[in-house]
Chains A and B, each alone.
Chain A
């Protein structure tokens, strides 16, 4: 850009830290995370040179530094324990996720007008605001995120789109990806109940 060597002070260029794709730590800290086994697997494939730098016998020897051998052994034991714990937790979370339900409610507003309320999407890590926007665009209608009488947040779409929503989930399109269709249920809610409206 600047042809004659300018004397302006130049900004310092940032250091590029090599972060672990598994635990997000700089790779030298993977040993303190809760997924060391998976971190090592990933690194040995992704960057064998780095892997050798941190996990060769020599590297393992020097890194112990001033730590006593017992303390190092304890550290390794702790890491293994932490890892097992994290795995169990992840598994439980996954199980819970797979057991949660998504409810698609067709609610009658008056004779011909309906709204469709979708509950429980958040269990599948879906951003409700984004889902509302996506659905509004898809059906060229209005959609919003509202808190229902139970205090849970739901996506409310104007119009009767329950079956279409189910189809979208089935084809796992857009932000609705990741919701198993088997966990979804469409229900009718008639106006007669009378409890509606006030919420």
Chain B
């Protein structure tokens, strides 16, 4: 999503959304992530206004005190930025890719099923299976911190069965152009 993203040319405006919109964003975050209201309050205090940074191709970034916290494509799910996920790693379910997949991921590739199902990869067990369309933290073999955030294209059980094609579409990864902007 953030390939060749340049703040100087790709941002069309920064505005605080209406408070009703802010309330619905807060509600969406609380329902889509596994985050306690008080922790969200710590990240984004109710008395602080969110700033909506409008970008090209219907991408929205939301900031508090110029720090990007969330982003969204159209009115799709709300993703945390990778830096935010690093601070609160438990807010999203985890999947893992093997070491061989890391450099492809960092080059902007989506994650193929074999990289997730191999010995170095990780998918949740059947009783914790994720459906298609779930936002996930993508971890990497032997690493402590997440390397990317993406969305499942298939259910995780289906990934194990089919074991080919794209399993996870990457929304943001370490070193992409969103990572490069620390403040907006």
Contact = CB atoms under 8 A, between A and B. Distances in A.
Given A8-B38, A25-B174, A28-B143, A65 B89 contact: no
A64 B99 contact: yes
A17 B86 CA distance: 7
Contacts of B174: 25-26, 29, 32
Interface residues of A, number: 26
B179 A65 contact: no
10 closest Cβ pairs, A-B complex: A14-B87, A66-B120, A11-B42, A11-B39, A67-B99, A11-B38, A17-B86, A66-B119, A26-B145, A12-B39
5 contacts: A9-B38, A11-B39, A15-B86, A65-B120, A67-B99
Interface in B52-99: 86-90, 98-99
A29 B143 contact: yes
B103 interface: yes
Given A9-B36, A9-B38, A11-B38, A29 B86 contact: no
B3 to A, nearest CB: 16
A14 B88 contact: yes
Contacts of A62: 142
Interface of B: 36, 38-39, 41-42, 86-90, 98-100, 102-103, 106, 118-120, 141-145, 147, 174-175, 179-180
Contacts of A9: 36, 38
Contact of A33 (B36, B86, B147, B175): B175
Contacts, number: 70
A17 B179 CA distance: 14
Contact of B142 (A12, A33, A63, A71): A63
A122 to B, nearest CB: 9
A12 B147 CA distance: 22
Q: Choose among B38, B119, B180 the residue with the greatest number of A CB atoms under 10 Å from its CB.
A: B38
A133 to B, nearest CB: 17
Contact of B102 (A12, A32, A64, A66): A32
B179 A24 contact: yes
Given A10-B38, A66-B141, 6 more contacts: A11-B42, A26-B143, A26-B144, A32-B102, A71-B99, A71-B100
A11 B141 contact: no
A89 to B, nearest CB: 15
B175 A25 contact: yes
A75 B101 CA distance: 11
B41 to A, nearest CB: 7
Contacts of A26: 86, 143-145, 174
B142 A11 contact: no
Q: Choose among A24, A64, A66 the residue with the greatest number of B CB atoms under 10 Å from its CB.
A: A66
A78 interface: yes
Contacts of A25: 174-175
Contacts of B90: 12
A30 to B, nearest CB: 11
A83 B120 CA distance: 26
Nearest to B120: A66
Nearest to A34: B175
A75 B105 CA distance: 13
A65 B118 CA distance: 12
A25 B86 CA distance: 11
Contacts of A8: 38
Contacts of A10: 38
